[in-house]
């Protein structure tokens, strides 16, 4: 080591560099990397593990139970911190890394920063083939890790220690870029991890980063303002990007100043509280009658921070064919979708610029009155839909009970199955940014692991609040081991396990398209001689959680109150009806593939009905 260089292994350089990266958020400086999740194996323990040990106080390493769960937890952590902080995941070469593929795809679809530091086969190939190596006969340079190129925003394989000098800043730049945010994957061959190099000492000096804010082009602002000012029935779609830009106040003030109704996407579900007079509800396939009525009648729609996924647009049937879109988005790819007039830039700066250009404009009071009347009707429906005793035990009833008892800063987590739709439609938002419904990738298994990651982040910022997880029996059986993680790390969760006997939401889709129940509910699985239920409470208790089973929503409320008072993870199990418990209103058309030819009359009839709605579908580009 000289005065200008320091000799480190590749792994040591990576960890030391990460430890020196900070970010300024609202004037407060903190490490941009909150630590990591790791499961060690022969591909990462001897070198990367050695490096992480020396920074265990500043970069805490959480021991996962499954690499896929680690990736989900890291994604939820980044979502809580509005993409301004991230965690890394380290996995061994082979199956450990392969397990991260699904969570990398989730982070990619949801535009979330996650850093994956994954073991790889030996660069020299001298010991090939090694344990857990997949041999590609026609191309020895191709390995498992190459598959992550499809689900990473940044991908690299380090073949020389000096490469991290360029690779690490490039990966971080992608993860902090509002327009291109997503997971970064760095493959680390086992031998290269331990190779040493004389690194420039200044590489490891503390550096503070800030999130870039790009102002939309002035011509785009002028065009967008002119179009919106021509509207007689304007609406705002508020997406998740509003929160990532920390533009909730600007959105609210813009809507209030110009008297424009706001409808929310799934990702933007908590941009406004439920009681705000311009919050007309969630839009789309899992939305509300109120928001969908506004969407269908609107003549100009300003979309802010949304990628306009099919559940938002009803596969592009939720809006009038002649309605005109303006899309304010940091990503050019999203801003130009479906013939939208684009405004490429930051939501906060874009809304401020639009506000100035819209001076004097206010939507007609009659239009707002129509929207608010629709919202009142929807609120009445939700009140009845969530009322205990209105039908057999249901998701909606459980959601209503918890909603009434939780604190405004409690965070709600749900994903996949029927619960995202039920939470989106029935949850009354009490606090801004408190709803995490993972529906970008609609990924089973996110719920518990994501709850753990969210709680790690929440305990740093709001330790007095709770993280509440809604999970179905199907997702629980798929991935539940992070109940143990939460108990081990003392990151308290409250889990509501709502058991409907299988994959009931897909059974509902199966039935709604004319098919008979088949292989979704356990009772309808032909290879099951005798169906029986799982004792989820006993299983959760075996992992150290407090667990109990309740029979009805009233008992659920009592158990939830007890769970709030505890300082450890609680699991509350309740059976819900697989057939009668669904929210039946608030749905737009959704395109799914159905058989054009079938021997079953009900399937043919459902196909004809579904295809008949296609004439309302906008043809985007």
51 and 26 part of one domain: yes
Question: Are 23 and 166 contained in the same domain?
Answer: yes
- The three-state DSSP-derived secondary structure of 418-429 is CHHHHHHHHCCC
344 and 366 inside one domain? yes
The alpha helices in 99-138, defined as continuous H runs, are: 101-109
Pick from 233, 117, 236: nearest CA to 167: 117
For 506-555, the pLDDT digits (tens) are 999 999 999 999 999 999 999 999 999 999 999 999 999 999 999 999 99
Q: Is residue 444 part of a domain?
A: yes
The answer to whether residues 356 and 418 belong to one domain is no
3-state secondary structure 601-621: HHHHHHHHHHHHHHHHCCCCC
The answer to whether residue 361 is domain-embedded is yes
Based on the domain organization, do 173 and 280 belong to the same domain?
Answer: no
The confidence score (pLDDT) of residue 339 equals 87
- CA dist., res. 507 & res. 148, Å (int): 32
CB 36 within 8 A of CB 65: no
> What is the number of domains present in the chain?
3
- Domain endpoint, select from 559, 575, 591: 575
| Phi, then psi, of 12 in degrees rounded to 5 | -65, -40
- Claim to verify: residue 428 and residue 546 sit in the same structural domain: yes
Distance, in Å, from the CA atom of 319 to the CA atom of 323, rounded to the nearest integer, reads 7
Nearest residue to 436 via CA among 447, 422, 428, 426: 447
d(CA 59, CA 368): 50
Phi, psi of 25 (to 5 degrees): -125, 115
Q: What's the confidence (pLDDT) of residue 244?
A: 97
| 527 located within any domain | yes
Residue 604 falls inside a structural domain: no
Q: What is the dihedral of CA 536, 538, 544, 546, to 10 degrees?
A: 80
Flag whether 436 is in a domain. Answer: yes
Angle at CA of residue 182, ends 76 and 308, nearest 5°: 85
Q: Is residue 610 part of a domain?
A: no
Phi, psi (rounded to 5 degrees) for 526: -65, -20
Strands (E), 557-598: 570-575
- In a shared domain, residues 405 and 534: yes
Token pair recorded at residue 413: 């987590």
pLDDT at 169: 98
Instruction: Retrieve residue 31's tokens.
Output: 């490490």
Specify whether 256 is located in the same domain as 190: no
Q: How far apart are CA 183 and CA 479, in angstroms?
A: 22
CATH code, domain with 343: 3.40.50.1220
61: left (phi over 0), alpha (psi -120 to 50) or beta: beta
306: closest CA among 284, 340, 334? Answer: 334
CATH code at 175?
A: 3.40.50.970
Check whether residue 546 and residue 569 sit in a common domain: yes
Q: How far is CA 563 from the centre of its chain?
A: 25
Residue 615 lies in a domain: no
Within this chain, do residues 204 and 301 fall inside the same structural domain, yes or no? no
| SS3 track for 438-452 | ECCCCCCCHHHHHHH
392 CB-contact burial (10 Å; exposed 0-12 / middle 13-18 / buried 19+):
middle
Helices (H) and strands (E) in the chain, counts: 24, 23
Q: Is 196 in the same domain as 248?
A: no
Instruction: Determine the distance from the C-alpha atom of residue 158 to the mean position of all C-alpha atoms in its chain, rounded to a whole number.
Output: 29
Which residue among 209, 237, 268 closes a domain? 209
Residue at 52 is within a domain: yes
Same domain for 73 and 39: yes
Q: What is the pLDDT of residue 615?
A: 86
Q: Give per-residue pLDDT as tens, 567-620.
A: 999 999 999 999 988 999 999 999 999 999 999 999 999 999 999 888 888 876
Would you call 163 exposed, middle or buried from its count of C-beta atoms within 10 A (0-12, 13-18, 19+)?
A: middle
Task: Say what the pLDDT of residue 621 is.
Answer: 52
Contacts of 101 (CB under 8 A, 6+ apart): 147, 148, 151
Ranges of the chain with pLDDT below 50? 1
Residues spanned by the domain of 15: 5-209
User: Which of 152, 185, 209 corresponds to the end of one domain?
Assistant: 209
- The pLDDT score that the predictor gives to residue 208 is 98
Please name the residues in contact with 562: beta carbons below 8 A apart, sequence gap of 6 or more.
570
b/e map of 579-599 (b: 16 or more CB within 10 Å)?
Answer: eebbbeebbbbbbeebeeeee
3-state secondary structure of 216: coil
Three-state secondary structure call for residue 224: helix
């Amino acid at each position: 080591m000289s005065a200008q260089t320091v000799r480190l292994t590749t792994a040591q350089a990576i960890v030391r560099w990460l430890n020196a990266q900070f970010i300024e958020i609202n004037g407060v400086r903190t490490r941009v990397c909150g630590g990591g999740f790791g499961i060690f194996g022969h591909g990462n323990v001897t070198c990367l593990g050695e490096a992480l040990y020396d920074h265990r106080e500043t970069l805490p390493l959480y021991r996962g139970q499954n690499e896929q769960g680690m990736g989900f937890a890291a994604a939820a952590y980044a979502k809580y911190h509005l993409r301004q902080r991230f965690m890394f995941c380290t996995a061994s070469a082979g199956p450990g890394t392969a397990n991260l593929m699904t969570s990398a795809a989730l982070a990619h679809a949801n535009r979330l920063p996650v850093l994956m530091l994954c073991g790889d086969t030996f660069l020299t190939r001298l010991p090939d083939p090694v344990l857990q190596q997949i041999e590609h006969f026609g191309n020895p340079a191709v390995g498992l890790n190459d598959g992550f190129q499809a689900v990473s925003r940044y991908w690299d394989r380090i073949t020389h220690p000096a490469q991290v000098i360029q690779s690490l800043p490039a990966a971080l730049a992608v993860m902090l870029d509002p327009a291109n945010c997503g997971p970064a994957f760095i493959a680390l061959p086992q031998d290269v991890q331990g190779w040493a190099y004389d690194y420039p000492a200044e590489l490891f000096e503390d550096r503070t980063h800030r999130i870039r804010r790009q102002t939309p082009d002035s011509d785009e602002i002028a065009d967008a303002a002119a179009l919106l000012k021509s509207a007689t029935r304007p609406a705002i779609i508020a997406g998740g990007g509003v929160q990532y830009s920390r533009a909730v106040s600007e959105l609210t003030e813009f809507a209030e100043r110009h008297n424009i109704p706001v409808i929310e996407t799934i990702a933007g579900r908590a941009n406004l509280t439920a009681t705000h007079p311009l919050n007309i509800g969630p839009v789309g396939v899992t939305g509300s009658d109120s928001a969908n009525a506004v969407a269908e009648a609107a003549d100009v729609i300003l979309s802010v921070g949304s990628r306009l996924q099919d559940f938002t647009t009803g596969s592009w049937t939720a809006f009038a064919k002649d309605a005109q879109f303006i899309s304010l988005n940091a990503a050019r790819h999203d801003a130009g979708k479906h013939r939208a007039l684009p405004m490429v830039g930051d939501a906060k700066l874009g809304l401020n610029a639009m506000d100035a250009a819209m001076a004097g404009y206010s939507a007609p009071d009659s239009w707002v009155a129509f929207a608010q009347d629709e919202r009142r009707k929807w609120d009445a429906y939700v009140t009845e839909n969530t009322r205990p005793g209105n039908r057999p035990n249901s998701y909606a009833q459980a959601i209503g009970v918890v909603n009434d008892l939780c604190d405004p800063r409690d965070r709600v987590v749900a994903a996949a199955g029927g619960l995202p739709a039920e939470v989106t439609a029935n949850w009354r938002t009490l606090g801004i940014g408190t709803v995490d419904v993972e529906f970008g990738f609609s990924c089973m298994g996110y719920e518990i692991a994501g709850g753990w990651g969210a709680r790690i982040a929440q305990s740093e910022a709001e330790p007095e609040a709770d993280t509440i997880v809604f999970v179905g029996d199907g997702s629980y059986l798929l991935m539940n081991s992070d109940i143990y993680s939460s108990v081990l790390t003392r990151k308290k969760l409250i889990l509501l396990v709502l058991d409907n006997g299988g994959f009931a939401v897909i059974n509902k889709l199966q039935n709604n398209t004319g098919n008979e129940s088949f292989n979704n509910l356990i009772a309808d699985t032909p290879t099951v001689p005798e169906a029986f239920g799982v004792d989820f409470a006993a299983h959760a208790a075996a992992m150290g959680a407090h667990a109990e089973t309740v029979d009805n929503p009233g008992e659920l409320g009592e158990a939830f109150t007890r769970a709030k008072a505890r300082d450890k993870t609680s699991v509350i199990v309740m059976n819900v009806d697989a057939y009668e418990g669904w929210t039946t209103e608030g749905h737009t058309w959704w395109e799914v593939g159905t058989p054009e030819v079938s021997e079953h009359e009900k399937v043919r009839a459902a196909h004809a009905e579904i295809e008949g709605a296609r004439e309302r579908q906008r043809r985007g580009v």
